[in-house]
Chain A
Amino acid sequence: MPSVIYDIKVKIFKAMQRLSVGFYSSKQTGSLMDRVMRDANNIYWFFVDGIPGIITEMTTVIGVLIMMFLMNAKLSLLVLFLAPVVFVLLFFGEKLFRNMHHKTWVYHAKVSSMVSDNIAGQREIKAFAKEDEEYDRFSKVSGDYKDAELKLALTEATVFPLAEVAILLLTVIVLGIGSMMVAKGESGMSTGTLLSYIVYLQMLTEPFDFLAWVSNWWSRCADSAQRVFEIVDAPAEITEKEDAVELRDFQGNIEITDLDFEYEPARPIIKAFNLKIRAGEMLGIVGKTGAGKSTIANLIARLYDPKKGSIRLDGIDLRDIRFDALRRNIGLVSQDIYLFMGSIADNIRYAKPDATMDEVIAAAKAASAHDFIMKLPDAYETYVGSGGQKLSGGEKQRISIARTIIQDPKILILDEATAAMDTETERNIQNSLSALKTGRTTLAIAHRLSTLRDADQLAVIEEGTLIEYGTFAELIEKKGAFYKLYEIQNEALKAAGILTDAASAADEDPEEE
């Protein structure tokens, strides 16, 4: 139905496809897509709901103010004068008031009951000439009321509706002054007038609530619009050449030649890097955190372009290959998984939207994801991504592995693909991963070096350069950098008591988005 929103989204998605990951990561978001969806919705609903709402609520406010002036101009002037003061006070004292919210309510109840007692018993008060006494009583209670406001001790943090409390304060003031006016018998002020005056005042709560909320909404909306324009207008960094080619009869050879890369100018991350991975082989990449392992993985997936040098697939430069060919042939299971806003099933068949449900379930099973998916109330139709069901890092990784199984790419990049899983799940999934690796060129980055035993070759990286290369056995024999890393890890594992895994706790707590 909402074609506007559809247009906005299509525009954004088109624009997003032109952009590199560099853009996304510089906007520090793994969930840009989610936000875009929300931004587009935000803008749309603001126009559909917000604008008409503002008009009706403003009309209410004006109408009510007119009524109030007609009833009692003096009191209304006071309200008009006090309203901004109260709002400003509340705005700056929000925290304070939030804490006081509960106590103020209690005192408010007391004050109003006293005032209404007073109004109801007005004849008696007058008859017994007790005005001054009542006046004192009221001052006392409203004094307590003020104390309640100022006392910071109360920690109850309820949601603080600014407008409601503002109106509440105004009501108390009006009740106080109004009842005194009534008690003193001022002209044009009767019990009935005061009561209906209060009713009108209360009628302002909703519009003010709405307006306060809408102004907040508007600022979010302006933000959204800005982000949307940023994306639509951003120049593409990674572009597809006009004459880009298909990958025909693709084998899966990767060749990296004299590669230099930097995220920011003058801070080289990868330096003069050379590496060859033959089709069908598995290469393990090893190195300390920050060595540049993920960067190399991302470069091979052409999430970034090299600064110098080249990466070739079967002899063809990445920059000469069509985007859809890359997307089909390179599968990346990365450290930080990003799920799209949509159902789990959609996420799994993302690379192949026409995959059957049989395939989706089979892939989820192979990735050890099926069981946890079936425990969710909506199973495969559970919404994930921002605003959706929260999943733990390990669960996201399993969905991502299922996604890659369906994608069936020639080149598989596993960047610490099981890092967020508990040991048991990891063990279960190893079989699927081994199955996944056969017949593909695999690039595996793993923290636990023992998991790289079956790699055909290992590359050790330090500060963006290749420092060692060879088979597991060769590198152990060599007693170089790899041997040292291996020793350190074994020691640590022994110290922690046979192969316990620091990651085992990681699977349980859902990540905050």
Chain B
Amino acid sequence: MNTNDITPNSLKTQYVTPSDCHFYQEKAGFLGAEIRGERHDRVILKRALPFQSPERYICITDVEKNELGIIEDVAAFSEEQQALIRGELSLRYFCPVITDILSIKEKMGHFYFDVKVGESKKSFTVKDISKNIRSHGKNVDITDIDGNRFRITDFDAIGAKSRRKLEPYIY
């Protein structure tokens, strides 16, 4: 690595630790953070690796998207702080969990999915499956043509029938 000292701060990675960063719930419900002694009443959290490491490398920015720091690992924070961080992330990365795959039909390069999300049925369409169906460990993440996300949290736990339907599309 060659990031010598002439590199300005804006081009450096600034990790935050529980000692210099404290999250709090702002009155209006927004997530605030005090970072290195500076209060920010509204911060935005974004995952650098949303699929592979949803709990690591979380970038904190203000509303203008200026980066305030990066959380290297959520686990380093206290239970109470973790809950705040996860709460904010789950709002931003809302993602229905697929529990069953009823059918996948292919027509003209479009894949029509009929799935069950809990008790309710859901249909969506996926294009470019090699890009939009991704698996990481036991997770399978599916992005439909409108950019909506769906997730299978444990590929081995959905039924064998469901698994067989999706298997051909997972690389």
Taking beta carbons and an 8 Å cutoff, which residues of A are in contact with B?
1-2, 5, 41, 48-49, 209-210, 213, 345, 357-359, 361-363, 365-366, 368, 370-371, 374-375, 377-381, 383, 387-388, 405-406, 408, 428, 431-432, 434-436, 438-439
Contact = CB atoms under 8 A, between A and B. Distances in A.
A362 B47 CA distance: 16
Given A48-B168, A374-B67, A434-B6, A379 B1 contact: no
Contacts of B51: 378, 381
A257 B7 CA distance: 37
A387 B109 CA distance: 13
Interface string B79-116: 00000000000000000000000000011100000000
A431 B4 CA distance: 9
6 contacts: A357-B49, A357-B56, A365-B13, A368-B11, A377-B147, A435-B4
Nearest to A361: B13
Nearest to B106: A49
Nearest to A161: B108
- Interface SS of chain A: helix
Interface of B: 1-4, 6-8, 10-13, 46-53, 56-57, 59, 61, 65, 67, 70, 72, 106-108, 128, 130-131, 147, 167-168, 170-171
A387 B131 contact: yes
A388 B10 CA distance: 28
B48 A361 contact: yes
B155 to A, nearest CB: 12
Nearest to B127: A387
A362 B9 CA distance: 11
A368 B67 CA distance: 13
A307 B144 CA distance: 52
B108 to A, nearest CB: 6
A363 B13 CA distance: 9
A487 to B, nearest CB: 31
Contacts of A405: 1-3
Given A377-B147, A388-B131, A431-B6, A362 B59 contact: no
A1 B171 contact: yes
Contacts of B3: 362, 366, 405, 432, 435
Contacts of A48: 168
B102 to A, nearest CB: 19
B13 to A, nearest CB: 5
A48 B52 CA distance: 29
Contacts of A2: 168, 171
B45 to A, nearest CB: 11
Q: Which of B1, B50, B70 has the most CB atoms of chain A within a 10 A radius of its CB? A: B1
Contacts of B147: 377
B9 to A, nearest CB: 10
B70 A361 contact: yes
